[in-house]
Amino acid sequence: QVLSQVIPTQLQRVTHRALHRLFHTRSCLFVVLHVALQAAVFGEYTWEVFVYCWELQFHILLLLLPYLLLAGNVGCFLLCSRASPGIVTKSNAASLVKVYAYDGVLFQRGLVCPTCTVKKPARSKHCSVCRTCVHRFDHHCVWVNNCIGASNAGVFLLYLLSLTATAAAVAAVTAAFLIQVLLLSNIMHGTYLDAQGQEHAVEIAFLVQHLFLTFPRIVFMLGFVILLTLVLGGYCSFSLYLALTNQTTNEWCKSRRLGGSPPLPSQPHDRPLIYKNIYSKGIWRNLKEIFNPPTVLEKKKK
């Protein structure tokens, strides 16, 4: 009985250590996985879909669109992974403190990072993975092996948009090819016999099965890319929402966990202060700030 209790505990510890090393230490594992998935998808697209579509006389610009989007995505990936997210140091902390005002709820004035021993500017956070304080910290992205902060948030948004567009373009061209094959074969107007010998009109399930038996790798790739497009599209929509409302992922998560906060010293203690985003300046200015982060504290217009 004691052994049966010890083994699950040890297994949990090993699992926890493995997950911690995987997600809380800088590693190129997810970068390699990211590149491998893109190579597999574009390898299949190039050697089968592109060739078949070329024979079917698809427009060359349509066939090259995924490659053009891929080139833009690779460029954004390199910039995002290599660019500094905006590290807070002892030399620039005093100037960064003047960039954003403290809201008194998520960000308190006068706090010092216990690890970096620097005064924490508003909207900054210490990243345990990179072991640095990041200005306007959003999150640590394992796929680019870098933090997302004030200096590379705009490039990261472009990276997400280009990655989603690339997956959608591959899915669109592949789906167009399979539909063209069905139209040329005229199978959609045919019939088939079931196991009992009864004749039925061709249905969608039969068409999918026919395509999977004829082009198994292409159909599998199409399913994977469609799923990827939906997931990336959802994340892109969320990232755009954050950009348009001038929030970070870190702030959004904290505000959702924060029902009410202790009042400021100047506020009555019977009135808890509810979080309110004080950094939003309107949709256009919020979006502009992502690509051109401010360097000084902007005074409110009277």
Catalytic (active-site) positions: 141
- CA 4 → CA 7, 8, 12, 15, 17, distances in Å? 6, 7, 13, 17, 21
The 3-state DSSP class for residue 164 equals: helix
Question: CA 119 to CA 88: how far, in whole Å?
Answer: 9
Residue 90 phi/psi, 5° resolution? -65, -25
Max CA separation in the chain (angstroms): 84
Judge whether 216 and 247 are in contact, CB under 8 Å. no
Tokens 């009277």, located at residue: 302
In total, the chain counts a number of residues equal to 302
Q: Which has the closest alpha carbon to 45: 140, 133, 173?
A: 173
Residues 6+ apart with CB under 8 A from 266: none
**Exposed/middle/buried for residue 154 (C-beta within 10 Å: 0-12, 13-18, 19+):** buried
Which helix (DSSP H) or strand (DSSP E) does residue 162 occupy?
helix 153-185
